[in-house]
Structure 1
């Protein structure tokens, strides 16, 4: 199991929901953190919490629908000299539930793809080559198990694109110590998931973070976080490393 003490992780959408849970968990493991949100004010409270846990941390901001802001955020991290070891592409948007799905506006797809697909790809493409050069990296892209719901076509399609990107990229990471994984938090009671969701957001731990700790150099796996709920980190890692990558999620 990887020891993340002193390593640096970038977590997008760190101010609330799954990102917030991931932030606290990683800080408790001794991991230093770069906390992303749309506005620096949104992460001020969580920054104070993680600093109190004895790790180093700072905040960055970017509206993920704006590629210029994403690029500027990455420039900021680079200018600070931070070597990002672990990446959690967590932030996402679920724009609308369209009962008249034949009338889904193009804007649903445009907004979903910008935030849920294009920005994670930009971040991966900037950070992963540096990870390969240094000989270590863990990337966890957050996907969704939503299927057979054309009412959420924009969101679902953007996550499917991220799945495809992740699986294809995994084939190029063989033989490196950079591991890329997909993670599905499940339907949780968050601002995105709504209060009718069956799972408490805390149930994503340790499953949402397990991809940061696997140590077998196998990329392209899909980790459904709810199947790890309530497990110790050690047991979760053992379970994750026993899982195989498959071409398509079922």
Structure 2
């Protein structure tokens, strides 16, 4: 299992939900954290939690729908000269639910793609070149197993595009110590998943971490967080090594 002690890790959507759970667990493993949220003050509670664990934490902000805002955040991170080696591209937005599933609007698709696809790949393209140059890095993008729900077509299509993006990098990254995979958290009781979801947000740990903690030099894989419920981190990583 990868030793993340003192490595700098960027987590998007870190103010709540899955992002906060990832932040707390990564902090417990010794990683220092850059915590993104829409407004800097929103991630300060997460920052306070991890700082009390003896971890360095920096809060940054950007509006993911706005490519210029994302670029400004990335420039701010660069200005710190911190070596970001681990990235959890976690933040996402659920699209509108269209009861009349033939009435989805282009506006809904544009927003879903902006947050769930364009922003994550903008972040990926920023950090991947340096990771490749340095010969080390880990990146995980959050996908979804949503299927057969044209009522949520915009969200589903954006996540499918994200998965395709990651899978196609495998032919370039496999065999190197730069790894990029996707993680499906499952249907969770969060602001995104809603109160009727069957799984507590805490159930994503440790499964939400395995794609970053592996050392087998394989990329392009799909990890379902719910496959690792009630496991310790080391056992989860060992199980994940068998995923092709």
TM class by shorter chain equals over 0.9
**Does 2:39 match 1:39?**
yes
Tell me by how many angstroms 1:242 deviates: 1.1
TM-score (norm 2): 0.99
Q: Give the equivalent residue in structure 2 for 1:247.
A: none
| Partner deviation per Cα, 1:141-190 (whole Å, 9 max, x = no partner) | 10000000000000000000001100011221123201111100000000
C-alpha distance in structure 2 between counterparts of 1:168 and 1:222, whole Å = 12
C-alpha distance in structure 1 between counterparts of 2:207 and 2:121, whole Å = 22
C-alpha distance in structure 2 between counterparts of 1:3 and 1:225, whole Å = 20
CA RMSD of aligned residues (A): 0.7
C-alpha distance in structure 1 between counterparts of 2:174 and 2:237, whole Å = 20
C-alpha distance in structure 2 between counterparts of 1:160 and 1:73, whole Å = 26
Q: Give the equivalent residue in structure 2 for 1:151.
A: 151
Tell me by how many angstroms 1:95 deviates: 2.1
C-alpha distance in structure 2 between counterparts of 1:22 and 1:44, whole Å = 15
- Map 1:167-206; keep pairs closer than 5 Å: 167-206=167-206
Q: Give the equivalent residue in structure 1 for 2:212.
A: 212
Q: Give the equivalent residue in structure 2 for 1:108.
A: 108
Tell me by how many angstroms 1:132 deviates: 1.1
Secondary structure of the residue aligned to 2:173 is coil
- Structure 2 unaligned regions, length at least 5: none
C-alpha distance in structure 2 between counterparts of 1:51 and 1:18, whole Å = 19
- Map 1:39-118; keep pairs closer than 5 Å: 39-118=39-118
Tell me by how many angstroms 1:27 deviates: 0.5
C-alpha distance in structure 1 between counterparts of 2:83 and 2:171, whole Å = 24
| Partner deviation per Cα, 1:11-45 (whole Å, 9 max, x = no partner) | 00000000010010000100000000000110111
- Structure 1 unaligned regions, length at least 5: 245-250
Q: Which of structure 1's runs of 4+ aligned residues deviate more than 3 A?
A: none
C-alpha distance in structure 2 between counterparts of 1:100 and 1:5, whole Å = 50
C-alpha distance in structure 1 between counterparts of 2:174 and 2:192, whole Å = 34
Aligned residue-pair number = 244
Secondary structure of the residue aligned to 1:68 is helix
Secondary structure of the residue aligned to 2:241 is helix
C-alpha distance in structure 2 between counterparts of 1:42 and 1:127, whole Å = 24
Q: Give the equivalent residue in structure 2 for 1:161.
A: 161
**Bigger Cα displacement from structure 2, 170-179 vs 191-200:** 170-179
